Amino acid sequence: MADTALVLGAGGVTGTAWESGILHGLAKAGVDLSTADLIVGSSAGAIAGAQLAFGPAGIGDLYERQLAAPENEKAAGRLGPVTVLRYARAVLSSRTPEEYGRRLGALARDSRPGAAADERREMIASRLPSSEWPGRHLLVTAVDASTGALHTFDSTGSVTLADAVTASCAIPLVWPVVSAGGGTWIDGGVHSPANAHLAAGYERVVVIAPTASGNKVIVSPRAQAAELEAAGARVEVITPDAGTRRAIGRNSLDPARRAAAARAGLAQSAAHTEAVAAVWNG
Q: For the chain, how many residues are written?
A: 282
**How far is residue 208 from each of residues 45, 46, 103, 157, measured CA to CA in Å?**
9, 12, 27, 26
Name the catalytic one among 20, 34, 42, 43.
43
**Residue 42 a catalytic site member:** no
Report CA 61 to chain centroid distance, whole Å.
Answer: 18
What CA–CA distance (Å, rounded) separates 249 from 37?
34
Name the catalytic one among 187, 220, 252, 269.
187
What CA–CA distance (Å, rounded) separates 259 from 171?
21
**Residue 43 a catalytic site member:** yes
Catalytic residue annotation: 43, 187
